[in-house]
Amino acid sequence: MTKKSLSIKALPAEVSTLLTTLGKNICVARKSRRLKQSEMSERIFVSLPTYRRVESGDPKVSMGIYLSALYVLDLMKGLDQIACPETDEVGRYLAQQQLPKRIRQPMTDENDYDF
């Protein structure tokens, strides 16, 4: 009996839609390169049923397998920009909100009276 993950059940609809779209895009890219599903599964070192799950956008397939498929299809360009700190507007806003209002000199315990 397989273990059922609550994270799969609670998957947001937008995420599910994106995974389905990614799977379809991988399928179209594979077909445009005239590759069979069996050839793709061999190239990314997974079973044929697992590769079919990739093309269907199954969330249980690991991210590494999706990325391997994109690598084989030479579609990795731009992935390094996902969750990049330079483009994270919310993260920058939150960091800016935590800046101190005033900057004070640190208090010292030593007497700095040098007369």
Residue 67's CATH number: 1.10.260.40
Number of domains in the chain: 1
Examine the pLDDT at 15 and tell me if it is beyond 70.
yes
Q: Is residue 108 part of a domain?
A: no
Q: Is residue 106 part of a domain?
A: no
Confidence at 5, pLDDT banded by 50, 70, 90: confident
Q: Is residue 26 part of a domain?
A: yes
Q: Of all residues in the chain, what percent carry a pLDDT higher than 70?
A: 91
Closest CA to 73 of 16, 22, 11: 22
The set of residues, in sequence order, having a beta carbon less than 8 Å from that of 58 and lying 6+ positions away, is 19, 23
Q: Please tell me whether the overall predicted TM-score, pTM, comes out greater than 0.85 for this model.
A: no
Q: Cα–Cα distance between 39 and 35 in angstroms, integer?
A: 6
Q: Is residue 96 part of a domain?
A: no
66: domain range? 11-77
Better-scored residue on pLDDT, 54 or 95: 54
Residue 107's pLDDT is what? 76
Examine the pLDDT at 106 and tell me if it is beyond 60.
yes
Q: Is residue 91 part of a domain?
A: no
Q: Is residue 93 part of a domain?
A: no
